[in-house]
Amino acid sequence: MANRNFTALRTIWIKECTRFLRIWVQTLVPPAITMSLYFVIFGSLIGKRIGEMGGFSYMEFIVPGLIMMSVITNSYANVSSSFFSAKFQRNIEELLIAPVPNWIIVLGFVGGGVARAILIGIIVTCVSMFFVDIQIHNLAIIIITLLLTSSLFATAGLINAVFAKTFDDISLVPTFVLTPLTYLGGVFYSLTLLPEFWQWVSKANPIVYMVNGFRYGFLGVSDVNYMVSLGLLVGFNVVLFTIAYQLINRGVGIRS
């Protein structure tokens, strides 16, 4: 049984990785170009006028946030588009009738999103090295935060795809929810610059904790306790995975 489950998981994961690698010009190149523009505009041009932030140059300060922003966007987009395409083409039904547990299906799709997010994270990190010397304060925190964040948004993308009825539906959440939360999540600024009231309001934004946990891994500074960030990430992952599993189990958006 364990052998069969592992084979099924590996097969789904390889299929998901092959899917985005086959069209790498569309999936891997655009984030590198977009992040390069952010580095040039916000880092090199505007950053020189801003000076230091949190004891570091502005470019050093925003690098972790920009990497995390690309990880969030791509992990979400990969699974939401892939799972909805499987629904649209009706090949998800082949998985559902196969002797494979539903949690394996969820893990397989999420694993594909995590793989793409990690690859994008590495590419953006390499790009950032052309603009700034990368510092690493705690590699373990970087890796754990990267894995937990990418798996969280990959699972969220799957949930979005379950409820989506058209291709337009899978772009609603990234456009109206993820983008505003990311830009207001401390990617380009420290929360200490805000009035006290808005600091507390910002702390209701979960992306603040992901960006700051990741920044702590690189620079050793954070606007929030990095242990709180990791705790929230673990909690959100458990909740969203449970929701995704239950939705697939009940066939919501698939059988109905």
Question: What is the mean pLDDT for each group of 10 consecutive residues in the chain (256 residues)?
Answer: 85 94 91 87 75 83 93 95 89 81 94 96 92 90 96 96 88 88 90 91 94 95 93 97 94 74
**Cα 97 from Cα 103, distance rounded (Å):** 14
Q: Indicate the number of domains in the chain.
A: 1
Specify if 154 maps to a domain: yes
Q: Could you tell me which residues are beta bridge partners of residue 52? A: 57
pTM: 0.93
Specify if 256 maps to a domain: no
Specify if 255 maps to a domain: no
**Cα 19 from Cα 116, distance rounded (Å):** 10
Tell me the two tokens of residue 131: 């603009």
The pLDDT assigned to 15 comes to 93
Q: Which of 32, 34, 238, 68 is nearest to 149 (CA)?
A: 68
Q: Which of 79, 68, 65, 32 is nearest to 173 (CA)?
A: 79
Residue span of the structural domain in which 157 resides: 2-250
Specify if 97 maps to a domain: yes
Burial 93-132 (b: 16+ CB within 10 A, else e): eebeeeebbbbbbbbbbbbbbbbbbbbbbebbbebbeebb
Residue 251 — left, alpha, or beta (φ > 0 → left; ψ -120 to 50 → alpha)? left
**Would you give the end-to-end CA distance of the chain in angstroms?**
29
